[in-house]
């Protein structure tokens, strides 16, 4: 691969930045594979649930699929916890950041906020406010995030659930990451 001429970004030329853009495109071309590998790595996470984190993600996506959610939301349900292994305390922000260039503002917001909204189901057991999500009451995506957690997240921990396999969702993941990102190097950096 060609290399840029600069050691300080301020000294880069248009030709240099075309090299960088081509390199970024090469990464983007393999993004779906990399995301699927990261999701599969969640199979190794055992934190006490009756299912692995991968199984939870597959159940979430299966629930969204059976609810006739659109493909973007099905993939969001599949990937909402993909950051668990790398960022257990802020996994929602990691997943949302990864999805942001490829999904609507609504889907991005749902994934970004789902961890806080999910505390509705357990905060009271730690002496905290189970309604912490109400900080966002009135936000245009508040109700959609409540619904996401209720329908696709909090109820996806059943070891006897008839879960669809990852192979059923792979084409959806590939179509999502094949979309042109909502930004490019020339406008967003």
Contacts of 151 (CB under 8 A, 6+ apart): 63, 64, 67
Confidence band for 180, pLDDT divided at 50, 70 and 90:
confident
Confidence band for 187, pLDDT divided at 50, 70 and 90:
very low
CA torsion angle for 168, 111, 121, 67 (degrees, to 10)? -40
pLDDT tens per residue across span 17-31: 999 988 988 888 899
Rounded Cα–Cα distance for residues 55 and 10 (Å) = 46
Contact 144, 105 (CB under 8 A): no
This prediction has a pTM of: 0.90
Instruction: Report the alpha-carbon angle 27-59-113, nearest 5.
Output: 65
Task: Examine the pLDDT at 183 and tell me if it is beyond 70.
Answer: no
Pair of tokens at residue 12: 């880069």
| pLDDT for residue 163 | 98
Pair of tokens at residue 37: 């590998």
Task: Examine the pLDDT at 186 and tell me if it is beyond 90.
Answer: no
| pLDDT for residue 33 | 95
| DSSP single-letter state for residue 167 | H
Rounded Cα–Cα distance for residues 69 and 62 (Å) = 10
| pLDDT for residue 7 | 93
Domains of the chain: 31-178 (1.10.3210.10)
| pLDDT for residue 185 | 43
DSSP annotation string for 105-119: HHHHHHHHHHHHHHG
Q: What is the mean pLDDT of residues 27-42?
A: 91
pLDDT tens per residue across span 128-147: 999 999 999 999 999 999 99
Q: What is the mean pLDDT of residues 89-105?
A: 96
| pLDDT for residue 109 | 98
CA torsion angle for 53, 59, 61, 67 (degrees, to 10)? -150
Confidence band for 4, pLDDT divided at 50, 70 and 90:
very high
Strands, E assignment, the chain = none
User: How many other C-beta atoms lie within 10 A of the C-beta of residue 2?
Assistant: 10
Rounded Cα–Cα distance for residues 19 and 9 (Å) = 13
What mean pLDDT value characterizes the chain? Answer: 93
Q: What is the mean pLDDT of residues 86-113?
A: 96
């Amino acid at each position: 691969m060609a290399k840029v001429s600069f050691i300080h970004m301020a000294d880069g030329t248009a030709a240099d930045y075309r090299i960088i853009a081509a390199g970024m495109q090469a990464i983007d071309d393999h993004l779906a594979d990399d995301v699927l590998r990261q999701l599969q790595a969640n199979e190794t996470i055992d934190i006490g649930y009756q299912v692995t984190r991968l199984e939870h993600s597959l159940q979430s996506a299966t629930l969204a699929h059976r609810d006739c959610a659109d493909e973007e939301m099905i993939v969001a349900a599949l990937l909402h916890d993909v950051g668990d292994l790398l960022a257990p305390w802020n996994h929602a922000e990691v997943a949302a950041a990864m999805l942001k260039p490829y999904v609507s503002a609504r889907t991005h917001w749902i994934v970004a906020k789902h961890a806080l909204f999910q505390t509705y189901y357990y905060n009271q057991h730690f002496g905290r406010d189970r309604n912490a999500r109400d900080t966002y009451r009135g936000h245009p995506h508040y109700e959609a995030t409540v619904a996401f957690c209720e329908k696709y997240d909090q109820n996806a921990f059943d070891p006897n659930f008839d879960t669809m396999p990852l192979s059923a969702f792979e084409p959806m993941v590939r179509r999502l990451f094949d979309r042109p990102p909502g930004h490019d190097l020339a406008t967003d950096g």
